[in-house]
Structure formats: C-alpha cells, structure tokens
Homo-oligomer: A and B are copies of this chain.
Amino acid sequence: MPIKTEIITIGDEILQGQIVDSNSAWIAQQLLLLNIAVVHIATVADREDAIIDAFEQAKQRADIILVTGGLGPTKDDITKRTAANYFGTNLVRDELVLEHVRGIFAQRKRAMPAINQMQADVFQNGEVLFNELGTAPGLWYTHEDKSFVFMPGVPYEMKHIMSQHVLPKLASVADQGHIVNIYILTAGIGESHLAESIQDIEADMPDYIRIAYLPKLGMVRLRLTGVSNDAEALRAEMQVFANNIKARTNEYFVTFGDVDLEGAILPLMHSKNYTLATAESCTGGTIASRITAIPGAGHVFKGSVVSYTNEIKQKMLSVSKHDLEMYGAVSEQVVSAMATGALKSFDVDFALATSGFAGPDGGTKDTPVGTIWIALATKTTVITRLFHFQNDRNINIERTSTQCFLLLWQELRNLGC
C-alpha cells in the first residue's frame, strides 16, 4: 500500500490571512520526489478543539501526519501540550535540547528568557528531531499506528528538520515504485487553446499517465506524471507523448523542464555566450531580481538600471531630454531609448526596458494607469510592445516582467537559438 501523508498547518495567522502558507508546497515537493502522496492539506486555528479534530480527521486519510507551527515559546503556541494530551503522553524536559537552546542564546550573546526552557520539553517516548538552526526541536510520535511529525513553522528551520531527519526516515520506509515527471513549458498560448490543440494526444495517453495544466501569468506548464516499477520504460513512453506535444505546440513550446521562462532563457543565453542587462522603470528591479534569483545568473546578466526619475533616465541610460519632454516617460520612444541606452552602458547583446504606469497613482488622460511599454534592444534592432493592464500594481509589475521574458525568448528563437 502506498504511504499517504497529510500536512496540518496550525496558526491563526494563516486563517486570518497574515501569512501565506508556503511551507506546505515545499513539503509536498519533497515528498513527491520520494513518490509519497500528500492527500490533504489542512490549516487550523491555535485552538485545542480545532487541533484535535484535525488530528482525528487526518488519521482517517493518512499514515503520516506532518504538523507545522505552534511550537514557539509564546502563549499562543499550544501545539505541543494539545498533542501530548491527545496522545495521552507527558512532556518531559530534554537536557540535550535545553543545552542547545542555551547555546544558541549564548552564541548570540543574549540572555535566555525563562520561557525558552519550555522549548526543550518533548514527548515522553517520542523521538526528538534535532533542530540545529533554531530553538524549537522537531518531534516524531507514533500514535495508534499513525506517525505524527511536529516541526516549527519558521520555513528555514522546518526545511532543515525535513531534510536532515524526516525525509531520510521517510525514504527508508517508502517503497512506492518510481514516479516519473516530465514538464513542458509553453508561453504565449492560453490554457484552453493549448488543451484543445493537444486534445487527441491527451486522449491517447494510458490511464497511468496523467497530465496537469499549471498556468501562470503568460505561461502554461504541462506536467506528465506516471508511476511504474520500471522507470526507464515509463520515461521512454512518456517522452514520446511529450515530443508529440512539443511538435504540436510548435512556436509556443519553450523547453522541457520545471522552470519559468527566465530559468529557460538563462542557460540558453549562457550556451551562446550572450549577455543581458535591463533598464527598469515601472518594474522597479523585479526583472533583475527574477533573473538574479537563479543560481549562476552572473554568467549572462551584467546588471540593471532602475530609473525612477527622468534625470536618471537621461544620465544613466542616455535618454534624450527631447524625447522625455515630447513623448513623456511612458512612450515607445523613451522605452526604446532606455533599451538601447542599457545595451550600450552595460555593453551587452540584449537589453530589456520597461516604462509604464503600474498604478494605483500616476497616469494621464491619454496614458492611463495600466499603460505599459516594453522594449528589447539587440545590436541590430529594437522591438517594442504596448500593453494595457487592468490589475493592481503588483500584478501589473509581474505581468510586465513576464512579457519581457517572453519577448526575449521569442527573439532568441528568431535568432535560431
């Protein structure tokens, strides 16, 4: 029987929308690599009855229940004592953990508050998952043949305990056959059109290969997933379908792989020794930060000028005063000049530029909020695009950035990459 897991996140701050639960996605990704399914994710309040109900329901669905949150030293963190009551066990102080917690405070040259002693309390007859990075240890407790694993909600501490302790234990019990995923990144085609165009390929797939559509602003990723004891044969079979989809989607196909556009662009540019820079007005550095989030970005990316004033556009990007006065900062002329200015200043092969009103303020009668120009300069040409977005500031910024990557991608394709 395949192992089933459930993730329970405890915390009012998530139910009140203060925090986005990114832990669950990370945990699910790691488990997927071991071919362990997450069958349910639940978020519940810092309240005893809610926590106990969640434990009860999770036991019906899953074999292993991964619980994050509520292990802090403050009063609103009640996970540990609620669980101890539910399991019918006691909390006992662990001297090794206490020593470690004291050591952390000593290292930071701070006195340890008395309430932190409680962080060394662990389940009697449970297992301690040592937390080298923080004061709240992970805990593993088996209750009525179900395993409950408790971890702090702080993402990097949770990730550390998962990687060091939980995943190795799970890997040793998981014997789940092999899971094979093939990702196909497309850009510039909507989900429905994509689905329609590959309808027959999808219909031909056997039951044990599933397809998922993962749309994101301007991109759709497809994921083919199969499970088999013969991973190699399965992968070969799946790759045939993937190749058919690649052929069918043609100019919308970007790459095989679980990456975003920028993650596909950078290695391609690197392989051609192409270099890149950006000149960003309305995107305010978001394009640069998406590029530099990728390890090894420095092989391709030389830098960016974020120009939030006309003076900076003139000084650092050589945009002419005439163009700024005649056409305004949000115009085809200025965004083109920004791109060619960046091309020269950074001495690169490709430069992207953005200028627009991301909102909610700004804009004029002729150029309302949501009007955004982008440009791509190469050594031989400048290509521009105009968009009228109608969303909030941050979505407009994100969409504009993606459109820049799409424009760059298309141009790289045109150049035969």
> A: which residues have CB within 8 A of B?
12-22, 24-32, 37-45, 50, 57, 72-76, 110, 113-116, 133, 135, 154-156, 190-193, 195-196, 199, 202, 210-215, 221, 223, 278, 280, 283-289, 291-293, 295-298, 301-309, 311-312, 315-316, 345-347, 359-362, 390-391, 393-395, 397
Q: Is the CB of B289 within 8 A of A308?
A: no
Q: A12-B212, A19-B214, A285-B304 are in contact. Are A44 and B40 (CB under 8 A)?
A: yes
Complex contact B295–A284 (CB within 8 A): no
Residues of B with C-beta under 8 A to A308:
292, 297-298, 301-303
CA distance A17 to B36 in the complex (A): 12
Docked-complex contact A345 and B309, CB < 8 angstroms = no
Q: Is the CB of B32 within 8 A of A110?
A: no
Most chain B Cβ neighbours within 10 Å, of A133, A214, A308: A308
CA distance A306 to B288 in the complex (A): 8
Residues on B with C-beta less than 8 A from A390 are 133
Nearest 8 pairs between A and B by C-beta? Answer: A284-B292, A285-B288, A17-B28, A285-B285, A17-B29, A113-B196, A41-B43, A304-B306
Closest residue to A294 on the B side, CB-wise? B393
Q: Which B residues are CB-close (under 8 A) to A215?
A: 154
Interface of A is mostly: mixed
A192:B116 contact, CB within 8 angstroms: yes
A291 touches B284 (CB 8 A): yes
Contact of A156 with B395 at beta-carbon distance under 8 Å, contacts A43-B41, A308-B303 already known: yes
CB distance from A206 to the nearest CB of B (A): 14
Measured CA separation A117–B232 after assembly (Å): 39
Residue of B nearest to A195 (CB): B74
Bound Cα distance from A305 to B12, whole angstroms: 40
A14–B43 Cα gap in the complex (Å)? Answer: 14
Residues A18 and B214 in contact in the complex (CB < 8 Å), given A40-B42, A40-B50, A113-B195: yes
| Interchain CB contact under 8 A, A361 and B15 | no
Q: 13 new A-B pairs (CB below 8 Å) besides A21-B21, A284-B293?
A: A13-B214, A15-B37, A15-B38, A57-B57, A76-B212, A133-B390, A135-B192, A283-B289, A284-B289, A285-B304, A285-B306, A295-B393, A316-B345
The answer to whether B289 touches A286, judged by C-beta atoms less than 8 angstroms apart, is: yes
| Choice from B191, B293, B391 contacting A72 with Cβ under 8 Å | B191
Inter-chain CA distance A133–B284, complex, in Å, is 26
How many angstroms from the CA of A19 to the CA of B152 in the assembled complex? 21
Residue from the list B156, B283, B298 in contact with A391, Cβ < 8 A: B156
Within 8 Å CB of A22, what residues of B? 20
Smallest distance from the beta carbon of A53 to chain B beta carbons, Å? 8
- Asked whether, in the complex, the Cβ of B41 is within 8 Å of the Cβ of A16, the reply is no
CB-based nearest B residue for A216: B19
A406 to chain B, nearest CB (A): 16
**CB atoms of B284 and A286 under 8 A apart:** no
Among B41, B43, B72, which residue has its beta carbon within 8 angstroms of that of A213?
B72
23 CB-based A-B contacts, threshold 8 Å: A13-B212, A16-B212, A17-B25, A17-B26, A17-B30, A17-B32, A20-B20, A20-B25, A40-B44, A110-B190, A113-B195, A114-B196, A115-B196, A135-B192, A154-B215, A155-B395, A283-B289, A295-B359, A302-B311, A303-B307, A303-B309, A304-B305, A305-B305
